[in-house]
Amino acid sequence: MTMTYQQEYELSGLAGRAAILNLTARHNRLYSAGDLAGWIATFRHAGATFVRDGETYTDLAAAFDGGDGRRLVTVDHDISVDGVDATQDCVALLYVGGELRSTGTYRDQLVYERGGWYFTSRALAWDTVPTSGAVSV
């Protein structure tokens, strides 16, 4: 069966979205396990950046703070695939010792190269926690 251009485009986008969800899950597991080399391997081979709360890291090893009982989970993924480029926005949840410690958002740029998807940049902004006047629910 021959597909139309639109069908091929949609199928490619869906396959890319699924692969990006898998990449993100692998990234999170490697962070949680404290696997620096594996975590870095989720980024593009050269020229990738990681931004945390406005501080930009081009040395990914210096940006890594995973392991030590920290567990990273991401939810609410908004992924847009355009050929070999993609973007992703998602919510980050950081658990330490089984307790939710932080929430934030990722803004990701990704590229398809060497037969797979890789992060070219990840920008993480942790939510601020009010120190006074917080409303209890």
63 vs 53, 79, 98, 132, CA distance in Å?
A: 11, 24, 23, 30
- Quote the pLDDT of residue 137: 42
Note the pTM of the prediction, 2 decimals: 0.87
Instruction: Give the phi and the psi of residue 42 in degrees, each rounded to 5.
Output: -80, -5
- Quote the pLDDT of residue 9: 79
**Domain-wise residue ranges, the chain:** 5-126
- Quote the pLDDT of residue 111: 97
Residue 13 exposure: Cα atoms within 13 Å on the Cβ side:
13
The pLDDT tens digits for 82-107 are 989 999 999 999 999 989 999 999 99
- Quote the pLDDT of residue 132: 53
- Quote the pLDDT of residue 14: 85
Is 5-126 in CATH node 3.10.450.50? Answer: yes
Say whether pLDDT at 78 is over 90. yes
pLDDT-based confidence at residue 12 (cuts at 50, 70, 90): confident
Average pLDDT in the chain: 92
Say whether pLDDT at 31 is over 80. yes
